[in-house]
Chains A and B, each alone.
Chain A
Amino acid sequence: MKVAIFIPCYVDQFYPQVGIATLQLLEKLGVEVYYPEKQTCCGQPMANSGFEDLATNCNNLFVENFSGYDYIVSPSGSCTLHIKDHLHVEKREAEAAHIRSHVLELTEFLTDVLKIDKLPARFPHKVGLHQSCHGQRGLHTSQMSELIAPGFSKPQHLLSLVQGLELIPLDRADECCGFGGTFCVGEEAVSVKMGKDRVADHLHHGAAYITGGDMSCLMHLEGILRRQHSATKVIHIAEILNAG
């Protein structure tokens, strides 16, 4: 099984440890991991701003980098969802279609493909799980509070395999953090207020760490935590699953 990892641009630049943890974790689990080096971005910032056309070159580049793999795995629900829903390259549509149907967010890959039921990880801390919307509502990595349906959660299942980890409850299990891409600056007031409210929920329940599948949401929450001089930290789920 040939697996390529897609490390989103902002993770590459600002959170290399998340890329490293993803790579190490997959290798630890016996996966043959490839990192196509000319990768950059999924094109979501342009597309979500209304400029899908400007993402054309990013799409070309993505297909260029990620053709020919059995799976493409990314430590981001949001970027994965964007590729799944919007990757189209006119002249290489068959390859694009293969990528769209074989791109998986990390926790999906671990749960659905590798079917992990034990992990050598240890993380003896109180952890709050932030369910990022694009992973949860877009990729269905867990049941959503709005739907009348049986409960399940891929990230929660994986965290339950980590030794010493105590998952804290939240008052609002799956409310958006307010990052929202360019929303975080275009609608600064509401974005920050949403983030502050999420942070408060985690702090209220005693989280030492806030984790999740999307570093973008966590970057936003981290910015608020650090401005509040909070001792609580953010940590990507790949880092926890790779810990110890």
Chain B
Amino acid sequence: MEATAEPKTKDHATLADTFNKDEARVDWHDKTLWFVRQKRDKAAWQIPDWEHLRETASQIKHNVLSNLHHYLTQFEKQAQQNGVTVHWAADAEDHNRIVHGIIQKTGITRVVKSKSMLTEECHLNDYLVAQGIDVVDTDLGERIVQLAGEPPSHIVLPCIHWKKEEIGQLFHKHLGTPEGNSDPQFLAAAARVHLRERFMTSPVAITGVNFAVAETGEIVVCTNEGNADLGVQLADVHIACMGIEKIIPQRKHLGVFLRLLARSATGQPITTYSSHFRKPRPGQQMHIVLVDNGRSERLGSEDFRNALKCIRCGACMNTCPVYRRSGGHSYHYAIAGPIGSILAPGLDMKKNADLPFASTLCGSCSNVCPVKIDIHDQLYKWRQVLAKNGYVSETKKTGMKGMAFVLSRPGLYRFSGAVGRWFSRYLPFTMNNSLNPWYKQREMPQAPKESFGEWYRKNKKRS
């Protein structure tokens, strides 16, 4: 398993095909995530007003996106009054440069970082390492994939694709735990010792941000492990990195989002820690980096704006029948699954042109989304945009043109149908061969003697 992250040149279908070579592993992956989906269902059923809560959250986010400029400047002003330094980053490079700049000024090279999908999106770790900064991810799942040299495969459960035996081996190699020990409690204790040492010796702590309250200038970070708190409380410098869409207007709105977030993510009523950071303690520095990285552009697009409502709960991944069977790495983007597939092409259409097609458009994602993002409709719309911009293969385009030509000519359609059925009945090998991806693991439908149209003309036609 270790360091098997595929080069990003392969598309989703190819990576998914590789993942499916080990069917037992696919079954395990599918069942593990389905279990999380079921936990989400149970938790949601406990809230009679669940659908109302989703609608409310969606409307609050709608308000935020419609008034983002106002809320951001209000947030900046409040945060500055609280003694926080606010930075603005136009893109990922800008963000990485700003974060590195803050670290550089301290003269420190050891940094701890709690979970932040934004820093994954910006590839902050790679950047910092290249600058000689030793950065350790303190979320246990993230630490595991970091030791393995992989990106997270899930935004809430970063190492969900790892089995405990494999984690035992990994810890044996990197943390010196006894070979063959894969007891989760033992391994967690070993990780705790390892991470405590880092917490104690890292004067800079980076965190993500789940919610930023415009009214008060505070940020809220949700973790189950308390690692954000440990990092920040022990550090002299706290750097919080957030996408500009993380804003909510007032503190009271947290009641809506905190009730939805953990239930949607893991089926917990609430994350173990929902930590509010408002101002630095005496002698501490607190920085907030507000990152755009394509978000403003998204905001200007009627069709895709709603994707910015995402609160990164991962429910769409857990429910996605494709994600569960293709693995997070098959999406070759920091954010996998259905939500990743509508975010990624916005950043790089060419590189991520395959992702909106990695879906059956079943719509389950939109139904679980706590902020009611129309994910599957956006997947459909991205397909149109990608085709218009020439990012769908010529082969597919030619095939579709041919199909459209036949299907818009009833006479030709009848003739082609009859010819096709004749071949299928009398020369089945022309279809039942290895060049036909349908036939690889499925039988072709058996062609009848006559079509419905032919039957109708013989038996029913009104004279």
Q: Give A contacts to B, CB under 8 Å.
A: 7, 9, 11-20, 23, 35, 37-41, 43, 45-52, 54-55, 57-58, 60-61, 133-134, 137-138, 144-149, 172, 175-176, 178-195, 197, 219-220, 222-224, 226-227
What are 11 pairs between A and B in contact, CB < 8 Å? A9-B407, A51-B392, A144-B364, A147-B51, A148-B47, A176-B321, A183-B359, A184-B438, A190-B325, A192-B440, A220-B442
B435 to A: closest C-beta gap in Å: 11
Contacts of A133 in B (CB 8 A): 360-364
- A193→B323 CA distance, assembly (Å): 12
Q: Does B105 contact A (CB under 8 A)?
A: no
Knowing A37-B456, A45-B400, say if A16 contacts B441 (CB, 8 Å): no
B328 to A: closest C-beta gap in Å: 13
- A137→B388 CA distance, assembly (Å): 28
Q: Does B143 contact A (CB under 8 A)?
A: no
Knowing A40-B407, A193-B23, say if A50 contacts B445 (CB, 8 Å): no
Name the interface residues of B365-421: CB closer than 8 Å to any CB of A: 366-368, 380, 383-388, 392, 396-397, 400-401, 403-404, 407-410, 413, 417, 420-421
Contacts of B359 in A (CB 8 A): 180, 183
Contacts of A189 in B (CB 8 A): 13, 16-17, 19-20, 326
Instruction: Name which residue of chain A comes closest to B320, CB basis.
Output: A176
Instruction: Name which residue of chain A comes closest to B385, CB basis.
Output: A50
Knowing A37-B453, A40-B413, say if A49 contacts B441 (CB, 8 Å): no
Central interface residue in B407, B444, B454, by most chain A CB within 10 Å: B407
Instruction: Name which residue of chain A comes closest to B457, CB basis.
Output: A37
Instruction: Name which residue of chain A comes closest to B442, CB basis.
Output: A223
B413 partner, pick from A9, A144, A149, A186, beta carbons under 8 A = A9
Contacts of A197 in B (CB 8 A): 30, 325
- A18→B358 CA distance, assembly (Å): 30
Contacts of B17 in A (CB 8 A): 188-189
- A142→B343 CA distance, assembly (Å): 30
B404 partner, pick from A7, A54, A187, beta carbons under 8 A = A54
Name the interface residues of B420-463: CB closer than 8 Å to any CB of A: 420-421, 437-438, 440-448, 450-457, 460
Contacts of A182 in B (CB 8 A): 357, 396
B227 to A: closest C-beta gap in Å: 31
Decide: B437 and A185 in contact? CB cutoff 8 A. Answer: yes
Using A61-B410, A137-B363, A180-B362 as known contacts, list a sample of 5 further A-B pairs with CB atoms less than 8 Å apart, ordered by residue number in A. A48-B361, A48-B383, A52-B384, A149-B51, A189-B16
Knowing A149-B51, A178-B360, A180-B360, say if A187 contacts B408 (CB, 8 Å): no
Knowing A43-B407, A48-B361, A133-B360, say if A190 contacts B322 (CB, 8 Å): yes
Contacts of A186 in B (CB 8 A): 13, 357
Contacts of B44 in A (CB 8 A): 148
- A147→B325 CA distance, assembly (Å): 23
Q: B interface, by DSSP: helix, strand, loop or mixed? A: helix
B387 partner, pick from A49, A181, A190, A194, beta carbons under 8 A = A49
- List the 9 closest A-B pairs by CB distance, nearest first: A223-B442, A180-B360, A50-B387, A57-B408, A19-B452, A146-B367, A50-B383, A176-B362, A137-B363
- A86→B385 CA distance, assembly (Å): 16
Q: Does B254 contact A (CB under 8 A)?
A: no
Knowing A41-B407, A50-B384, say if A223 contacts B325 (CB, 8 Å): no
Decide: A172 and B34 in contact? CB cutoff 8 A. Answer: yes
Q: A interface, by DSSP: helix, strand, loop or mixed? A: helix
Q: Does B94 contact A (CB under 8 A)?
A: no
Contacts of B445 in A (CB 8 A): 14-15, 219, 222-223
- A182→B13 CA distance, assembly (Å): 12
Q: Number of residues in B with C-beta < 8 Å to the partner? A: 75
Contacts of A192 in B (CB 8 A): 440-442
B397 to A: closest C-beta gap in Å: 7
A41 to B: closest C-beta gap in Å: 4
Q: Does B319 contact A (CB under 8 A)?
A: yes
Decide: B408 and A60 in contact? CB cutoff 8 A. Answer: yes
Q: Does B60 contact A (CB under 8 A)?
A: no
Contacts of B456 in A (CB 8 A): 19, 23, 35, 37
A161 to B: closest C-beta gap in Å: 25
Decide: B442 and A49 in contact? CB cutoff 8 A. Answer: no
Contacts of B452 in A (CB 8 A): 7, 11-12, 15-16, 18-20
Decide: A35 and B400 in contact? CB cutoff 8 A. Answer: no
Q: Does B26 contact A (CB under 8 A)?
A: yes
Contacts of B364 in A (CB 8 A): 133, 137, 144, 146, 175-176
- A55→B460 CA distance, assembly (Å): 30
Decide: B440 and A188 in contact? CB cutoff 8 A. Answer: yes
Contacts of A9 in B (CB 8 A): 407, 413, 417
Instruction: Name which residue of chain B comes closest to A16, CB basis.
Output: B452
Q: Does B12 contact A (CB under 8 A)?
A: yes
Decide: B400 and A146 in contact? CB cutoff 8 A. Answer: no
Instruction: Name which residue of chain A comes closest to B379, CB basis.
Output: A48
Q: Does B50 contact A (CB under 8 A)?
A: yes
A116 to B: closest C-beta gap in Å: 23
Decide: A190 and B20 in contact? CB cutoff 8 A. Answer: yes
B50 partner, pick from A48, A54, A148, A227, beta carbons under 8 A = A148
